[in-house]
Structure 1
């Protein structure tokens, strides 16, 4: 538990083509705020549009990361967390990758992905990683993608049958599991 004068912070990264006000993002933001977190849900229209080498420095410059930080990413935002965790210089408390992936999940271009990852660096920069994927995901961000990351990083893998956990055709306004997982 953080020292009483230390404010825990959480950053929720939306998925490709999404916005902070869709899906479960605002709901989770409110829940975490009620629990004392300083919450950011930034809008990054360049996510998975700009190449990660150009996009990542902007993200690193826009946020503060410390040992009390919780990072949550959905889909392309979860893929972003891999690059983020590789390149920060602290160990964050938790990272939750929802419908995340580390290799191309389908035939779409994926500029958010790096060619390779320094898995040891990523592992060293997060105390408690979680990977939440569905057995069947319309974009290929499935449990096999979660397992590939889990095998390299450890942590906890959770497999559900909840599709993509929110999409233009899948309302997913709350996400109770996430609220329970975040410490």
Structure 2
């Protein structure tokens, strides 16, 4: 069966910014079927309203690799908790699981079933920066690692792409996806 990857953009983002199109090309050339969905409700709609739409819009199988950036990474926590089947791999870039700044965070749940997320997430990777302008930093990555195990990678690359931080390629991410 063909491997499948879904790349979830972050809060206020879209699937055509930062490293998302580049990663799509790299994975497609490697034989993956890739989705870069547009979910404008990430971190705008309450997770209880957004989650069913996301679950209905995609197929999640043992051949699926999930990649989430920022708010998209936080969304994947709820997705994994509610899957009927496990996925092969999950990579959370600038991920977080608690409120990281003064902004509202409707993508977050009050509590998580960490055991279920761990069981459903496959090989888990957390990539965070020492410093992140939004607070999605290495401490948040460590919190995810403490809850879920997996592999924590700490860089010094800001938010890994933003309106004022071009981040057109992401070689490390491409190497991690198998």
1:57 shift after superposition: 0.2
- Equivalents in 1 of 2:124, 2:84: separation in Å? 17
Match of 1:65 in 2: 60
- What is the TM-score normalised by the length of structure 1? 0.97
Question: Structure 1: any 5+ residue segments left out of the alignment?
Answer: 1-5
Q: What secondary structure sits across from 1:79 in the alignment?
A: helix
Residues 1:15 and 2:10 aligned together = yes
Picking from 83, 99, 110, the partner of 1:88 is: 83
- Equivalents in 2 of 1:141, 1:152: separation in Å? 16
1:127 shift after superposition: 1.8
- What is the TM-score normalised by the length of structure 2? 0.99
Matches within 5 A, 1:1-183: 6-183=1-178
- Equivalents in 2 of 1:8, 1:15: separation in Å? 23
Cα RMSD after superposing both structures: 0.4
Count of residue pairs the alignment pairs up: 178
- Equivalents in 2 of 1:60, 1:127: separation in Å? 17
- Equivalents in 1 of 2:65, 2:122: separation in Å? 10
